[in-house]
Structure 1
Amino acid sequence: MSLIEVLARMEAVAAGRAQPLATVRHRHLSERPLVFVPLTTAGEAGAPLGALVGTDREKPLLLAVPQPRDRDLRFAFLAELAETVLPYVDGYADTVELEERKETDPETGKKVPVEVELCADAPQVIVPSAAGVEYVRLLGRSMRFRRTAEQEPDTPHPAPPHVPLLGRWFTHFGERARVPGASLLLPMTGLLARHWATGQSNLEDQHLGALLAWIDPPEGEHGATAAERAETARDAAGQLLCPPAGPATDPAFDNKRLAPAMARYDAGLPGAEDEIRDLVESQLRPAWDAVWRGIDLLRALPEGARVADRWKRDRWSYTSHRDRVRAGEPPQPKRDDAITAAQKLSSRETAQAQLDAQEALDDPLVMAARRLAGEALVGEVTGVEMAYSQGKRPMPRPLVTLWTDDRPQLTEGGKLYRPLPDGKSQPAEFVAYTTDGPSGLVVRLTGGMGRGKTPEPGSVPEPGDRVCWTLFEHQPRGGPELPDPEDTPWTHGGPPAADTLPVDLPDPVTAEDFL
């Protein structure tokens, strides 16, 4: 936790309402997101109890399972969910634009430009909390290997045709959610907590109602009081007024309301199924309304300048998975091989470094946290001395003297980067502190001035300019290339065996089946 966030949390307690952690919105918000609020059966995370899903905040689709122990009813729930979600996901698949990319020519081995399709937009699924993201992954894992009656006529409990396809898409969304900065699948609590600091812990921020109570409390009420009421207030029957839809249910609801209603359903009493649907909706509707309320708060923030670049990577991800599905490729494997796992880890580390840099460059409040940590500085240029590199072709290497109140963690020869208006960065290196003390320092520009002997106009700051320098790269690159899976070294298990379990067979139960 940065010092800025600590201070913001202290101010939130004093002021009685959440304090901003950002001046812009750092995640993409679709014009038409699909909100998915799931609910599970107590004691069995893989057994869905119900859900509210849709793109219309006034008319969500209610799905309910009157008896979660009935496998046919559970499959009917998943089939209805697939019939709702898949048209939304497929709705972005055919509107494309052409992008030029460089690919390796198999004959010459050289990089050649080719035109490929990129979907103009992509779907976005929003769930109430981080537990909802894990539940989407769990549903995807449980569905993508299911066998249908068309595939195996004799299979017990065949799945409806669209269920395995929904499982593949949910798995893709769940995997993409693990990439820092990705926005195909987002938890509303994570979105709000990124942009506001409350006076409670990160764990308490996972309750969407309590989080919103801090961000937008009732007039004249302290955020802590409003949050406590959202978490604990109950009606005369002992039921929560603001069920979190976690996606777990409240024990008091299970014991006093749901269990008797299911007993009446099992007994075949008329009206029992409608009663269960009404009960499920009563637990889901507060979370549904809270998600849309959070969307309204986030849309009031201007979008960060580099958010569109990250969303474009999401569009590439969506387009690539669309192509794999249409090509008839098998579903994602149960476990990644060593090379694939290493590639995922490397790409996520790179994405995290890029996200940290881009958020700081987009947002002065985030940059302030980096300055307090000694990872950036803002200073006024007090002098510029022209100098040149030594060699056959001397290049300009101006010495820029700065005065700053920041305390950057600099060492001799350390790299610095200055953000430029065109989105690029100008490299420099630290030379020394001046005799005026640690507030004065000298840096040497090492690039970004053109290729001539004279720097291009505007490429060198002038005395009186107030400039920002960072100690971190603005466009971090990934690590070294990894070998192909068939070249996996023996230290990492060697190449995947040819007789391994086919990926399309039913998936055995593992510890990941439980949240």
Structure 2
Amino acid sequence: MIQLTSLLRMRAAHTGNAQRASQLRHLHLSDQPLMLLALKQTGPAARPLAVMLGTDPHRPQLLVAPPSGSTGPMLAALADTVTAYINACQRHREHLPATNNKPARWRYTDAPQILVPNPQTVQHLKDLGDVLRFRSVDDQAPGSRAVQCLGHWLTYLTDRADLPGSAALIPMTSFLGMHWISGQSPLEDEDLATLLAWIDPPRHAASGRDAALEAEDPATHRPAGPATDAPFDNDHLAPLFDAYARARRRALDQEQPRTLQELDRLLATYLQPTWDLMWQAYTLLQALPEAKSTARRWDHERTLFTDECTYLTQDGRPRPARDNAVAAAVRLARMEHAAVAFAAERTAEDPFVRAELRTTGKAFGGTVTTIDAEHTLRGPSGRTQWRPRLTVSTPDPVPMEPGQLLACHTYRSARYKICEVTPADGDTLVELEITAGMGTMDRPNHAVLPDAGAFLVFTIAPAPYRMPEFPAREQTPWTHGGPPADQPDHSNEGEGEEEQ
């Protein structure tokens, strides 16, 4: 959204309080999500410093990696916690009957949902998954196989986070920004503390703006991760890291545990405010009414989770570090389809989204003035087809051309074709013909006929989607991941022998 979002952002800046940008919650929220906060050390992107996670707001689990040395024990503990949460989603199954396209099958009744503070944490988990899933398994080392499995699941979850409408791994700032608009810049909205201050300021604050200014006080404000701020590194972390290094050099067995305990207390104090904010945001989002299409998307999420569990059991090989050309094209096509489908469902269900489309000329709203319920035409085969027509008077500009297919939020199964656009006194008259969803001459569906005087909003109908056909890897040139140019093609060997 552009124009309406800009207007709401200016209104929020003027009033000092965030503005609602949606009447519905468009992503599923689990009754027991796994909250996960992560901090990384300065240096290698995937080296973790600490993780706070859990499903109970009052009992978070803190895992801290030592300043130097192996992170194996910390990653093993993280793997145990995440794997236990994922395994809990596999306790119950449901049977799915056969359909025209699919045989009878089963799927899990639940799927994991991990909530993180911001998109930067998603990227950190993606980097961590890229490293861990390729680690060799040492059966003599406890937790080695669990850590590799953790890398597999992190890769799966972060891949799902790239798809619009997915609820497997959600950055909380993006989730909140989908439903509220603050008076600060989009870049500032990536800070959970200030964004939540705009949306849900404490009682003592005069406005969300005042609460945000208080929340970003450099003396008390701490980023939600995964990177820490420089003053915290210099004033707090560096002295403890130096003390730990001196204790290791001098082999002071009592000093090292004491330093690690101080580090645990320091990082717990650092992460606890963000932990509380995450649950505050969760409560706000859970109170929003859920859109109808959310349940269908969560069913799809459970199906994909079931398929991933099956893959991990039967095959289990790690995903490649880089997609080949065909796999990348398939992934891009799925992302584009997910974005279009999610946008269409939000448009059909949320008046805020439709209002934005009306400001950009991709939709118009108006009053039904006349209905010709008996209108018919002769089809290509010569048969008479029922094609009701209606005229809509709208004050909105209608830059669309005749022949454009439209959808209406009130009649989801119907499709409308613009027949004629006629400027009138102050308004525009748009003649529409119902082309889908109205049934046949023998069995007409009169439910798609609106009443005269009804106010309807028409949007551009999404084009029907069909997954493009992509070549196999062996059929792509070597420049795009196929066989080397100097390698002979033996793909057809043996065909003649079989025919004989």
TM-score of the pair, normalised by structure 2: 0.90
Moved more, 34-43 or 374-383: 374-383
- The answer to whether the 8 A contact 1:375-1:472 is kept is no
Deviation at 1:491, TM superposition (A): 6.5
Q: 1:378 and 1:495 mapped to 2: Cα distance?
A: 55
1:301 matched residue in structure 2 = 288
Q: Which residue of 1 aligns with 2:209?
A: 224
Residue 496 of structure 2 is matched in structure 1 by none
Is the 1:400–1:443 Cα contact (8 Å) retained in structure 2?
A: yes
Percent identical among aligned pairs is 37
What per-residue deviation string (whole Å, max 9, x for no partner) do you get for residues 398-439 of structure 1? Answer: 221111122233102111123455xx4211211112463552
Deviation at 1:149, TM superposition (A): 1.7
Match of 1:406 among 393, 396, 420: 396
- What is the CA-CA distance between 1:388 and the residue it aligns to? 1.5
Match of 1:163 in 2: 147
Give yes or no for the alignment of 1:436 onto 2:424. yes
Equivalent residue, structure 2, for 1:265: 244
C-alpha distance in structure 2 between counterparts of 1:456 and 1:361, whole Å = 20
Distance 1:228 1:419 in 2: 40
CA distance in 1: counterparts of 2:276 and 2:438, whole angstroms: 53
Match of 1:455 in 2: 444
Deviation at 1:495, TM superposition (A): 5.0
* Equivalent residue number for residue 202 of structure 1: 186
Q: Which residue of structure 2 lines up, in the alignment, with residue 14 of structure 1? A: 14
Q: How does 1:276-291 map to 2 (within 5 A)?
A: 276-291=263-278
Q: 1:469 is matched with which residue: 446, 458, 463?
A: 458
Say what the alpha-carbon RMSD is for the aligned residues: 2.3
- Counterpart of 2:296, as a letter, is D
**Partner residue, 1:149:** 138
Moved more, 112-121 or 249-258: 112-121
Gaps of 5+ in 2: 488-500
How has the CA–CA distance of structure 1 residues 178 and 116 changed in structure 2, closer, same or farther, with 3 Å as cutoff?
Answer: same
2: CA distance between counterparts of 1:213 and 1:52?
22
- 2:495 aligns with none
Native 8 Å contact 1:176 1:184 kept in 2: yes
Q: How far apart are residue 396 of structure 1 and its match?
A: 1.2
The 2-side partners of 1:496 and 1:168 are apart by 30
Contact 1:396 1:453 (8 Å CA) reproduced: no
Mapping of 1:22-37 within 5 angstroms?
Answer: 22-37=22-37
In 2: Cα distance, 1:43 partner to 1:489 partner: 38
1:311 aligned to 298, 310, 320, which one? 298
Corresponding position of 1:374: 361
Q: Deviation of residue 307 (structure 1)? A: 0.9
* TM-score normalised by length of structure 1: 0.87
Report the counterpart of residue 81 of structure 1 in structure 2. 78
Give the number of the structure with larger relative contact order, counting CA–CA contacts within 8 Å between residues 6 or more apart: 1
Counterpart of 1:254 in structure 2 is 233
The 3-state SS of whatever aligns with 2:306 is helix
Which residue of 379, 385, 391 maps to 1:395?
A: 385
One-letter code aligned to 2:92: T
State the shift of 1:158 in Å. Answer: 9.1
- 1:177/1:183 contact within 8 Å kept: yes
- Equivalent residue of 2:170, what SS? strand
Provide the rounded CA distance (Å) in 2 between the counterparts of 1:284 and 1:394: 69
1:93 aligns with 2:77: no
Q: Deviations over 1:214-234 (max 9, x none)?
A: 111234423233223222341
**Which residue does 1:70 correspond to in 2?**
69
- Deviations 1:252-271, CA, capped at 9 Å, x for gaps: 11111112122222313262
Offset at residue 56 of structure 1 (A)? 0.6
Whether the aligned pair in 2 keeps the contact of 1:207 and 1:231 (CA below 8 Å) is no
The 1-side partners of 2:196 and 2:337 are apart by 32
8 A Cα contact 1:20 1:195, kept in partner: yes
Which of 270, 279, 286 lines up with 1:292 in the alignment?
Answer: 279
Aligned equivalent of 1:238:
none
Kept in 2: contact 1:354–1:476 (CA 8 A): no
2:475 is the alignment partner of 1:487: yes
CA offsets 1:300-356 (integer angstroms, 9 cap, x no match): 111111111111221122111101111133111111121111111001101000111
Size of the aligned set, in residue pairs, is 474
Counterpart amino acid of residue 327 in structure 1: Q
In structure 1, the residue corresponding to 2:104 is in which secondary structure?
strand
Aligned AA for 1:305? K
Residue 129, structure 1, aligned to residue 118, structure 2: yes
Any unmatched runs of 5+ in structure 1? 103-110, 235-240, 500-515
- Using a 3 Å threshold, how does the CA distance of structure 1 residues 248 and 480 change in structure 2: closer, same or farther? same
Matched residue, 1:57: 57
Q: 1:337 aligns with which of 324, 337, 347?
A: 324
CA distance in 2, matches of 1:362, 1:413: 25
Moved more, 158-167 or 5-14: 158-167
Residue deviations 1:290-309, cap 9 Å, x none? 11111011111111111111
How does 1:227-242 map onto structure 2 within 5 Å? 227-234=212-219, 241-242=220-221
SS at match of 1:384: strand
Query: Do the aligned partners of 2:348 and 2:408 also contact (CA within 8 Å) in 1?
Result: no
Amino acid at match of 1:133: V
Counterpart secondary structure, 2:469: coil
Helix, strand or coil: the match of 1:395? Answer: strand
* Residue 484 of structure 1, CA deviation: 3.1
Structure-to-structure mapping, 1:415-434, within 5 angstroms = 415-420=405-410, 424-434=412-422
Aligned partners of 2:40 and 2:46 also within 8 Å: yes
- CA apart distance, 1:486: 3.4
What is the aligned partner in structure 2 of residue 187 from structure 1?
Answer: 171
Whole-Å separation in 2 of the counterparts to 1:29 and 1:324: 26
Distance between the aligned counterparts of 1:9 and 1:167, measured in 2? 39
Q: Which amino acid aligns with 2:189?
A: D
Task: Show structure 1 runs of 4+ deviating over 4 A.
Answer: none
